[in-house]
Amino acid sequence: MDFGPHLLLASLEGAVGAAVLALTALGLSLVFGVMRIVNVAHGAFFMLGAIVAWWVADALDAGSALNFLAALIIAPLAAGAVALVAERTILRRLNYNPESTIVATIGLLYVIEQVALMTYGPDARPVEAPWDFRVQLPWFGYSGYKLMVIAASIAVMLAVWWGLTRTRIGLMMRATQFDRETARAFAIPVDKVYGGVFAFGAMLAALGAVLVVPIQQAHYLMGNDPLLLSFIVVIVGGLGSLRGTVLAAVIIGMSDGIISVFFTPTLAKIIATLVVAMILVIRPKGLFGTQSA
Amino acid sequence: MMLKVENINCFYGRTQVLRDFSLFAEAGQVLCVMGRNGAGKTTALKSIMGLVRPRGGRVTIGGTDIAPLQAEEAPRHGIGYVPQGRRLFSELSVADNIEIGLMARGSGRQVRESVLDFFPVLRERLSQRAGTLSGGEQQMLAIARALCLEPSVLLLDEPTEGLMPAMIARIRDVVLVLKNRGVAVILVEQRVEAVLQIADRVLFVENGRSRETLKADELRKSPEMLARYLGVGA
């Protein structure tokens, strides 16, 4: 294949990775932005989304499209429910203390992973894509499902942006983000906002996982790479900045995809980490960061 | 009696900040709370709002004890709060800050319009980020946001702090208008001359305890009280 088409293929692969990464990192960024919590269990919610998707598809057995559609609805709800229980029973009791919640979410990560290992097992299992068609380009054919992943991710991100900037719930979330005490003085139920944001962040991660599981397969350790990349994206984008998170996800996801296609995935990770280090040397608060970390 | 605080005790960790603290506020009256720095004035307002949970005692509004309620319930009982340092949502627009005030009690467009009529300068800056307003405009916005709750009790914590004389006079006028509308105003203020102009009663706070309450006329005749509780002359 010539260089041009090869680059286009690599870019498409990178865009798919960027789309899933943006969704996952958006959840992490929301949780940090509003609650000031570094949620190390975010990768576990990603994994949970993929595993529940497999369970739903396996149990339903109603054809690939219906299986996938059901998984797309049930898996994020399941991850959100687990996150909500964790927020009520663990994080709230710690009064959302930044240091304590890091330790607590590390513990939560291990608990969820081990429960997944005990119940789902160590095997990697695929969920069938809802359809199997290829978009035929002049140089190669490309998976229509992967293009749908990109479109779905863009649609979800636009919906999140709309929700945050155009709805009352979004206004409550932003007010809570900027000043928790004053928000309370204006009847904003901060505890409920926190519970909702933590659950929603987990749902975004799970949604990303459901989208990717027909491409990558579900495995009980599959959340570790997205967790690491999401942290990198959130830090590079600027802690708490959703705009920065999306831009950083595109940059890192695309570069990871392109370098992986032309060279190796390991080299892609090395270069991505070096780029992150360089960006943080030049802009310590990230691309759009305004608050000190 | 609109608002009554009876014998509350408040703590920050193990440090007791308020001790058997009491006050009351009447409709259409301004109660000024005065005391030295660290006396517990701001904590008193926060305890009324439920932002600092009192241990023991009662905070009643219209006969309902609101002390056991969550902080977010206080605004629904008609208490508006203008915190020290304004505490605007500075990254949000003027319109968003006002919307947050309206949402607190489900107030509608009519309230929004009347508040903006009260502070016309804010109407011109609705899309501007609150943090970019001048100090005086920010204070206007902080008061406007609280008025969106249509409060029967308004708590103002040092609203004239750091403002120019013309803006201080404007805030005094606003307080007087609210008083004439029947709002019970509790004002924490350090400026003696401002207090004497608008207060009906003055409560002195010392080491977390509510001490003497004087009528403004009595205070004018007893400047030694100012020296005793504030270390200043009238």
Q: Rounded to an integer, what distance in angstroms lies between the CA atom of residue A268 and that of residue B160?
A: 57
Beta strands in chain A (DSSP E): 134-136, 141-143
Q: How confident is the model at residue B153, as a pLDDT?
A: 96
Tell whether the model's pLDDT for residue B223 goes beyond 80: no
pLDDT at A293: 35
Closest partner residue to B99 (CB to CB) among A171, A182, A183 is A171
Give the mean model confidence (pLDDT) for residues B151-171.
92
Residue B98 · residue B138 · CB < 8 Å = no
Contacts of B100 in chain A (CB under 8 A): 171-172, 175, 183, 186, 188
Q: Compare CB distances from B71 to A171, A172, A184 and report the shortest one's residue.
A: A184
B215 close to B47: Cβ distance less than 8 angstroms = no
Are the CB atoms for A27 and A201 separated by under 8 Å?
Answer: yes
Q: Do A185 and B49 touch (CB under 8 A)?
A: yes
**Buried/exposed B159-185: b ≥16 CB within 10 Å, e otherwise:** bbbebeeebbebbbebbeebbeeebbb
Using alpha carbons, list the distances in angstroms from residue B183 to A101, A186, B71: 43, 18, 21
> Which pLDDT belongs to residue A163?
96
The length of chain B, given as a count of residues:
234
Q: How much is the average pLDDT of A164-171?
A: 95
At A2 the pLDDT is 81
pLDDT the model gives residue A290: 62
Q: Which helix (H) or strand (E) holds B180?
A: helix B165-180
ipTM above 0.90, yes or no: yes
A206 is written with which tokens? 């799970």
Q: What is the pLDDT of residue A266?
A: 87
Instruction: Compare all CA atoms of chain A with the CA of B151 and give the residue at the minimum distance.
Output: A186
What pLDDT is attached to residue A292?
Answer: 42
Determine the pLDDT at residue B232.
67
- Interval A226-249: pLDDT, tens: 999 999 899 888 877 888 999 999
SS3 B61: strand
Q: What residues contact residue A26 under an 8 Å CB cut-off, 6+ apart?
A: A157, A160, A204, A242, A245, A246, A249
Q: Say which residues have a Cβ less than 8 Å from residue A246's Cβ, sequence separation at least 6.
A: A22, A26, A157, A237
CB contact under 8 A, A171 and B96: yes
- Structural domains of chain B in order of their starting residue, each with its CATH number: 3-78+151-230 (3.40.50.300), 85-147 (no CATH)
Which residues of B touch chain A, with CB atoms under 8 Å apart?
49-51, 70-76, 81, 83, 87, 89-92, 96, 99-101, 103-105, 145, 149
Mean pLDDT score, A197-205: 98
Bigger pLDDT: A86 vs A292: A86
Contact list in A for residue B95 (CB cut-off 8 A) is none
- Per-residue model confidence as pLDDT tens digits over A8-21: 999 999 999 999 99
